[in-house]
Amino acid sequence: MDFLKFVNSNAVRGYLQEIRYQPTSLEAAWLVYQCETASLEEKCAAWREIIETLPDCPTGSRTRGLKPEHRDSVYTFLQAYIAQQKQLAAAFMQADEPAVYDLQYQLLPKGERFWRQWRMADEDFPTLEACLQAVPRDEGEVRQITVRKYNAEGDFLMAAKFLPDHRLAFAEPRPGSLYAMSMEKSEWAVYTGLLYPAGPSEQTLNFPLPFRPGDLLYNPNRPEAAGGGVFVAARSDSCCQWSGLVQCEDPDKISAFFPRIMDCEYYPTEALIERHRLLSLLSKFLKGKQCSWRFCWDFAVFLNGYHDLLLPPPADSEGTKTDGSENKIFLSVEIAKVPEGTDEDDSWDWDEEIEEMEQEWGEEAGQEQKS
């Protein structure tokens, strides 16, 4: 089996297949787990094939309560994990007792090219079938469906993910749910000990990636309103230790950013809009550089401080009070707006612009001294 087909990102998947990357059993297990398009049945089949075809290795997990045999063998862990998911799925699908379901779904809206959105139904549903049938088909391309199940008293039981064709993708006894609180410590350790989101496995994975510092990237699952957006890649130590620079709500300020890099795609330069003008400059600046996460923080602080320095002083500040006996030279900066689709290399020459400004400032200063 080509376990690389479970990679979510087109860019990452294509690159790994191009270099013929062979994942370890732990890497393959994680790729199967996080896949957005595979059903639970397909995931379990893939995990079984890992046991049958790939060399075993330790899991590297340090989760408390995880049995030693699950720490020492990916095979043994996956066998326990498959059995647990079957049990969880059966518990979620059980319909013997009254239950209430609520619906959340992710889609790529019509006319949208990059950003997916999560939306919720305004009502609760008496059956799982009615809940799934309520997913609208005219708003865009449905990507994922999440259903939460409650008992008749309104207590949260557990959640499950479904594919657009309504096949079960995963069962989730989320923290705080009644099912999670009823699990034994060793059972909870199996659920969270290796493949849990941001769990121990993600700290040790080190897939080779196509991205380089200075690349413009985006995560389809993280639009700007959800703490994401277009960003400039900055650090490339491992697949789980990337950082970047992203624009804040104030388009002239930036912030350090730590993306889920394995889900990212290239963001085309021609799709940048006027408010992204800083990203093109940052992209050029970071090309070919290896930047630490500390640099990203410090650089963001420096640029934002410089931005604030260039802002006009408050109306009541001493700097705005003029005195006829005192000559002052003020620095003004104009940010040119470039029409969408214009090649930034053709829009202006920064060296010539700076040289002309320096000449103008020198001439003005000379005139002030003569007067």
What tens digit of pLDDT does each residue of 120-160 get? 999 999 999 999 999 998 999 999 999 999 999 999 999 99
- Residue ranges, the chain, pLDDT below 50: 319-371
Is residue 352 helix, strand or coil? helix
Tens-place pLDDT, residues 255-305: 777 788 899 999 999 998 887 877 887 888 777 666 655 566 566 665 666
Alpha-carbon distances, residue 311 vs 27, 319, 320, 339, 360 (angstroms): 49, 12, 13, 24, 21
Average pLDDT, the chain: 80
pLDDT at 305: 63
Say what the pTM is: 0.77
Q: Where are the beta strands (DSSP E) in the chain?
A: 99-109, 117-120, 140-151, 156-162, 168-172, 216-218, 231-236, 242-247, 254-257, 265-266
Amino acid 334: pLDDT: 37
Q: Does residue 264 contact residue 217 with C-beta atoms inside 8 Å?
A: yes
In whole angstroms, give the CA distance from residue 222 to residue 118. 10
How far is Cα 130 from Cα 119, in angstroms, rounded to an integer? Answer: 17
Q: Quick one: pLDDT at residue 282?
A: 81
- CB within 8 Å of 334: residues ≥ 6 apart: none
